[in-house]
Amino acid sequence: MNTTTTPDETSFTGCLLGLALGDALGAPHEGKPPGMHIPDCSSTLTYTDDTEMMINLARAILECTTLSRQEIVRYFASNYNPARGYGGGTLKVLSLVKDGLQVDVAVRSVFPEGSYGNGAAMRVAPVGLAFYRDEELLEHAIRESALATHVHPVGVDGARMMALSVAFVLRGRPVEELTEYLSKKAQTPEFKKALDRLKITISGNPSPKELIEILGNSVASDRSVPTAIYAFLKHGRDFMKTISFCLSLGGDTDTIAAMAGALSGCLVKEEGLPGECLKRLEDRSKISSLAKGLYLTAQS
């Protein structure tokens, strides 16, 4: 993988803080129909499962000598707050692992075919940050982090699309080439088709309702990751515009805004994030420290 530019630390902090802000700003609107849902930074911004899992994944990357799904799921299972809006299936997997079941057995016992939800994609940004320079390490970490809970190929491919997008932005590649790049990397027919739809849609100006019909706003990986990438491609140079756009679509607003927020934050860096919102973000300094740790990991 050619590294075209060397990113600085604020791309890393921008990415993870952007993810957490998108999650916290999207959470109050989760499950609503499309409409004018305004991001509100007037009180404490509390994050949900998306950010909690991202934090646990970042810690696993920083602390484990060998990054495996067994190690990663151990971090997920020992540091989760069930009140943060986890999906029922993920909670079940984590409690089974906590009770001592092997990760692969736990995952298959809850989702016999594997989950194709966006849970692996929403938390994967730290993987894109830590391994952006090495395609092989990046691919290994994507798979291990996804397979900790999501073994369906569409669930894994969603994580691949997000982590590769973070790495692409970090390397300073032209944003307008992202969709074409992802099309070559997608491994499932579901994502190849979704990216084809994204390519056609990005040049138009669909209404929120039309966009939801074309790309989706649900918890399915192939019906939310492309939507977040669309939001980033259209508005990513303006962080709050990106988040407002995600909220206007309704549906899985916290996760779609978290994914788009991670990409936008990576592009605009920490200084491009809204200061008033950052001041009210729960665990801001913890998230920032993890991002700085990943920056050091990526340089080593």
The answer to whether 30 and 15 are in contact (CB under 8 A) is no
Separation between Cα atoms, residue 151 and residue 142, nearest integer Å: 12
Do 75 and 103 contact (CB within 8 A), yes or no?
no
Q: Which of 11, 48, 188, 244 binds Mg ion (CB under 5 A)?
A: 48
CB nearer to Mg ion: pick between 124 and 170: 124
Of positions 144, 157, 254, 270, contacts Mg ion by CB under 5 A: 254
For the bound state, the minimum distance from the C-beta of residue 258 to Mg ion, rounded and expressed in Å, comes to 7
SS3 281: strand
Contact by Cβ (8 Å): 153, 111: no
Q: Judged by CB under 5 A, which stretch of 45-53, 126-134, 225-233, 280-288 contacts Mg ion?
A: 45-53
Residue 101 CB burial class (10 angstroms; 0-12, 13-18, ≥19) = middle
Between 154 and 259, name the residue whose CB sits nearer to Mg ion. Answer: 259
- Residue number of the CB closest to Mg ion reads 48
In this complex, which beta carbon is closest to Mg ion, that of residue 222 or of residue 254? 254
By CB under 5 A, name the one of 9, 59, 68, 85 that touches Mg ion.
85
Q: How far is the CB of 220 from Mg ion (least distance, A)?
A: 15
Stretch that binds Mg ion, among 39-47, 82-90, 124-132, 283-291 (CB under 5 A): 82-90
Q: Which alpha helices (DSSP H) does 82-172 contain, by range? A: 88-98, 103-110, 119-122, 125-130, 135-147, 153-170
Q: How far is the CB of 87 from Mg ion (least distance, A)?
A: 8
3-state SS assignment for residue 65? coil
Nearer to Mg ion, 254 or 270 (CB): 254
Burial of residue 241 (number of CB atoms within 10 Å: 0-12, 13-18, 19+):
middle
89 lies in the binding site for Mg ion (CB under 5 A): no
Which residue ranges make up the site for Mg ion (CB under 5 A)?
48-50, 85, 254
